[in-house]
């Protein structure tokens, strides 16, 4: 559930980011999305809650050339066991918003 919450919140954040194509994916924009979609209920930038921190996610995928694809799939399909026993539910994020969200998450390296 922790992974699901994290990815769901992050997906929601990127959806907001994509809605404002004129604004680059920045810390301020990412934080705004995090708040807008209540992702902070499960995920914090540097502290684990129900889900892993954004930093922990970025660290885990730092050397993975498929990180964007893997995280996009986890957001869209949910995941179980990636970060413990708490599953992450799937989250419907529009295609145009999904990649910016994942890129913002991966920026916490």
Greater model confidence, 16 or 59: 59
61-86, pLDDT tens digit by residue? 999 999 999 999 998 898 899 898 98
Quickly list H helices, 20-108: 27-36, 54-60, 67-77, 95-106
Identify the CATH number of the domain in which residue 96 sits: 1.10.760.10
Which pLDDT belongs to residue 23? 46
Query: The domain containing residue 54 runs over which residues?
Result: 2-106
Which pLDDT belongs to residue 1? 56
Greater model confidence, 36 or 10: 36
Q: Return the structure tokens found at 17.
A: 């980011």
| Rounded distance between C-alpha atoms, residue 17 and residue 63, angstroms | 25
Question: What pTM was estimated for this model as a whole?
Answer: 0.69
Number of structural domains (the chain) is: 1
Tokens 């921190």: give the residue.
53
């Amino acid at each position: 559930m922790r992974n699901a919450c994290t990815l769901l919140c992050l997906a929601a954040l990127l959806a907001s980011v994509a809605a404002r194509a004129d604004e680059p994916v920045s810390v301020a924009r990412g934080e705004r999305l995090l708040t807008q979609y209540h992702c902070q209920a499960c995920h914090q930038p540097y502290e684990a809650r129900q889900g892993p921190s954004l930093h922990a996610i970025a660290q885990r995928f730092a050397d993975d050339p498929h990180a964007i694809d893997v995280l996009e799939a986890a957001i869209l399909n949910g995941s179980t066991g990636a970060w413990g026993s708490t599953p992450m539910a799937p989250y419907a994020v529009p295609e145009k918003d999904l990649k910016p969200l994942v890129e913002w998450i991966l920026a916490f390296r």
